[in-house]
Structure 1
Amino acid sequence: MIIGFVAQGMFFGRFFIQWIVSEYKGESTVPLSFWIFSVLGGGLLLLYAIHRKDPVFIFGQAGGLVIYLRNLMLIYKNKQKAKTA
């Protein structure tokens, strides 16, 4: 249950960070830390779902994790392109 609460805290944290960064910039933006918190929180929630043996929860978290990781891959890819240009 502790893992579940930590994971939920991370998920809340990602929205909090996104809100603060957007307020600071004066426009809606999604910072890198949002995706990092998404992967960490999603991974922990997936572990919790597996522990609970909840197939609906497992499926939902696994799908989200794929999207979060893909976003991090795209960010990394674009940073690498920018370095070589």
Structure 2
Amino acid sequence: MNMTRETLWLVIGFIGQIAFTGRFVLQWLYSEYKKRSVIPVSFWYLSIVGSTLLLAYAIYREDPVFIVGQAFGSLVYFRNLQLIAKSKNLKE
């Protein structure tokens, strides 16, 4: 398969968007399963994957608004994982 650079970046952008959207689907289905609103740890991992891929795509596109938005989000997702790990350590 002979893929152009433009096509490759479109694929990266779409994969990032799918991962980013998938986290909302995951959260919704998990909450339905638990019969209460919850956010599973995998939500934050999907957030990081989607955000990182979308950030790479935004950098390639040279879109400063998109770059700033995606870069900030990753900080929040990593922080949530740190808080989850900290709370698990306190319970042990």
Q: TM-score range by the shorter chain?
A: over 0.9
Aligned equivalents of 2:78, 2:47: Cα separation in 1: 9
Report the TM-score when normalising by structure 2: 0.87
Q: For structure 2, which runs of at least 5 residues remain unmatched after alignment?
A: 1-9
Aligned Cα root-mean-square deviation (Å): 0.7
- Determine which of 14, 35, 39 is the counterpart of 2:48: 39
Aligned equivalents of 1:67, 1:53: Cα separation in 2: 23
Q: Which has the larger radius of gyration?
A: 2
% same residue: 54
Aligned twin of 1:59: 68
Aligned equivalents of 1:24, 1:10: Cα separation in 2: 21
Count of matched residue positions in the alignment of Structure 1 and Structure 2: 83
Q: For structure 1, which runs of at least 5 residues remain unmatched after alignment?
A: none
Aligned equivalents of 2:14, 2:84: Cα separation in 1: 28
SS at match of 1:4: helix
Aligned equivalents of 1:27, 1:17: Cα separation in 2: 14
